[in-house]
Amino acid sequence: MEKLALLLLRIEKVDLLIDAVVYKLYGLTAEEIEIVEADRPAARARRWRDHREASSTMAISSSVNP
Looking at residue 10, what is its pLDDT?
A: 93
Instruction: For the chain, give the mean pLDDT.
Output: 79
Distance CA 23, CA 4 (A): 29
Distance CA 18, CA 48 (A): 11
pTM > 0.95: yes or no = no
For the cut 80, the answer to whether the pLDDT of residue 64 exceeds it is no
9-59 pLDDT, tens digit each: 999 899 989 999 999 999 999 999 988 888 877 666 667 677 667 766 554
Cα separations in angstroms, 12 against 1, 8, 31, 43, 62: 17, 6, 22, 12, 22
23-36 pLDDT, tens digit each: 999 999 999 998 88
The answer to whether the CB of 20 falls within 8 A of the CB of 52 is yes
